[in-house]
Amino acid sequence: MIAVGQFFFRFRNAIFPIAMLLAVLLASPHYSFGRHTTDLWVDLLGIAVILAGQALRILTIGYEYIRRGGREGRVYANELVQGGVFAHCRNPLYLGNILMVAGFLVVIGTGWLIAVGLPLVILVYRAIVAAEEDYLSHQFGAAYAAYCGRVNRWLPDWKGFAESVGPMRFNWQRVVVKEYGTFFASLTALLVIQVWTRFGEEGVAERDWIWIAGVVCLLCGGYLAARTLKKQRLLHG
């Protein structure tokens, strides 16, 4: 499991976008249960799950960011982060990712894809976490063992959360710097899925391209604005 996790950790930034693209391509565009109204409610459920995952990521990054991005494709951490949301869940960012992927699978609305895709995503993240835990246990020893003893791996225990973050300042600038790519990629994916479904069921009318073009312009404009602020170091993450 550790070896598998090291592999997925190294290529995780490429694996998941490719996997989601394949999921959209493999799933025939259709309305859930063959009805537009039903599909709308299913989409709202999926979007709610996506928002829950995104909110968890924002909450985590805003209070205390964990620099565990790896070094030369390998697991690496320069310190053992235990504050903020990490005081209540050891892997909140990964949990947020799992929720977001689950939400997208619901929005796509193909039963077999949910049944196959979600367990695979959970397995991949479980392997990545196994690789990280192996590294952290060797790197931080007793301190990490004590941390694992009091904080759940996956299920957050929110008891005492207000006290944990009370002395801390929520860093919105860091959220924008670290999360704008994920946020705009999620919005783009939702747009693609909606257009794909509409095109497969009804075709896209000429008037539809107007709002599609408008949304694309807003997405591109927002992304470029956030990226410019980051590159110009006008935001401090």
* Mean pLDDT for the stretch of residues 213-228: 89
pLDDT at 174: 92
3-state secondary structure the chain: CHHHHHHHHHHHHHHHHHHHHHHHHHCCCCCHHHCHHHHHHHHHHHHHHHHHHHHHHHHHHHHCCCCCCCECCECCCCCCCCCHHHHCCCCHHHHHHHHHHHHHHHHHCCHHHHHHHHHHHHHHHHHHHHHHHHHHHHHHHHHHHHHHHHCCCCCCCCCCHHHHHCCCCCCHHHHHHHHHHHHHHHHHHHHHHHHHHHHHHCCCCHHHHHHHHHHHHHHHHHHHHHHHHHHCCCCCC
* Mean pLDDT for the stretch of residues 72-99: 91
pLDDT at 128: 94
pLDDT digits (tens, 9 = 90+) for 7-57: 888 888 788 778 877 877 777 767 776 677 888 899 999 999 999 999 999
